[in-house]
Homo-oligomer: A and B are copies of this chain.
Amino acid sequence: MPGNKTLVLVSRPNGPLAPDHFAIVDKEIPALAEGQIKVRNFYASLDPGIRKTLGEDKSYWQPTPLGAALTANTVGRVLESRHAGFQPGDLVFGTGAMQEISVYTPGKMCWKLPPDSRLPLSAHVSILGGTGLTAYFGLLDVGKPQAGETVLVSGAAGAVGSIVGQIAKIKGCRVIGIAGGPEKTRRVVEKYGFDGVIDYRGKSREDLQAAIAELCPDGVDLYFDNIGGIQLDAALSQMKWRGRVAVCGLISEYERTEGSGQIMHNLFSIVAKTLRVEGFLSFVYHQQFREAQRELEQWILEGRLVYDDYIREGIESAPEAFMALFSGANNGKVMVRIAAPDDAI
C-alpha cells in the first residue's frame, strides 16, 4: 500500500467550514532521521483550536499553509524506529498530522502509552490525551476550585466541559453547565452529574445573565469557558468578588468572519470584582501528564468519571467530523478511526 493519506487544507475558510476547504491527498512518508520513529496511526483527534490555524491570522499560532496537513493528535503503533527508547510494536501518542503514517520525534509531544493503561486506545487521544489533560489542568491549576464553591462551565456537554464538571464535582463543588438543546442539557445533568444546566439556545445576553443568576444566586466563583461570546460576557456579569475565569477556548470566535469582533458589555466586571481571567494550554504541564493520566484513569475505573468519544470511520470522514465540532452535532470528543487497531493495547 504505497502513499500516506493525509487531510490537507486547500482553501482558507472565512466563516463556517465547508467540505471544499479540505482534501485527502497521498503524501510521501519522509525517511527516518536518527532519533525518529515511524508510526501507523489508529485514531486521530480533531481539536477546536486547530480551526484558528486555518485562516491567515499570524498573530496567534502559525497558519497551516495551503496544501499542508492539518494538525492532529494521534495514537498508533511504531512501525520502524531510529530512537533507542522505542521499538517496533510500541504504542505511542503523538501530536502531528491527520494522516495514516506519521514520523515523530519522541519528546514532550510524543510519548509511549502507559503500559498498564486499562482504557481503550481511543481514550489516549481523548480523556487521557489533550482533552482530559486540558480539563484537568485548566480546572485544577488555573481555576483552583475549592470545595463548596460554585463552578460554571460552558460547552458542558462537550469533550472538555463534561470532564471539567465531573472533576469539579469530585472536588466538592456545586457545578452548573451551559449547553445547547434538550438532548445535550439532559446529558449534562443525567450523565455527567452537573447540579444544574442552562440551555443557551434562543437566549439573548440578558436571558443568559438571568439564567445564570437564577442557578447561581450567590454568584459564580469559577467560570470555565470553552465558548466565549455572549456566554463569557453574561458569566462576567455574574462572577463573585475575586472570581476566576479559566479561558480554555472561545469556540464561538473560531468561525467568525475576518475583521468582525465580539461585542462585550461586561469587561468592567474584571475591575469591579477584581477578577482573574487566565488562558492556558495543556502542553505547558507536560511534565505532570503521566500523574494526571493516572488520576483520570483511576476515576474512570472507579466509575466516578465518564467520557464520550465521537468516532467517525476513516480519514475521509475527517472534514465532516471537524465541521460537527462547530455545529455541535458531535457527542463527545471528535476523532476518526484511521485504521483498525491491530490488537488491543
Interface, chain A (partner B; CB < 8 A)? 49, 52, 59-61, 228, 232-233, 237, 247-250, 253, 259-281, 284
Residue from A260, A271, A280, A284 with most neighbouring chain B CB atoms (10 Å) = A271
Asked if residues A276 and B276 are in contact (CB atoms below 8 Å), the reply is: yes
**10 interchain residue pairs of minimum CB distance:** A261-B263, A270-B279, A60-B272, A271-B279, A277-B277, A261-B265, A276-B278, A274-B279, A247-B270, A262-B264
Least Cβ–Cβ distance between A171 and chain B, in angstroms = 22
Expressed in whole angstroms, the minimum distance between the Cβ of A153 and any Cβ of chain B is 16
B253–A267 contact, CB under 8 A?
yes
Given contacts A228-B267, A268-B253, contact A279 B284 (CB under 8 A): no
- Count identical subunits in the complex: 2
Q: Can you give 22 contacting A-B residue pairs, CB < 8 Å?
A: A52-B272, A59-B237, A60-B268, A60-B269, A228-B268, A249-B271, A250-B271, A253-B268, A259-B265, A260-B265, A261-B265, A262-B265, A263-B263, A263-B264, A271-B280, A271-B281, A272-B279, A274-B279, A274-B280, A275-B279, A276-B276, A278-B278
A49 to B275, CA, bound (A): 16
Provide the residues of chain B in CB contact with A249, threshold 8 Å: 271
Indicate if the CB atoms of A268 and B284 lie closer than 8 Å. Answer: no
Contacts of A271 in B (CB 8 A): 49, 247-250, 279-281
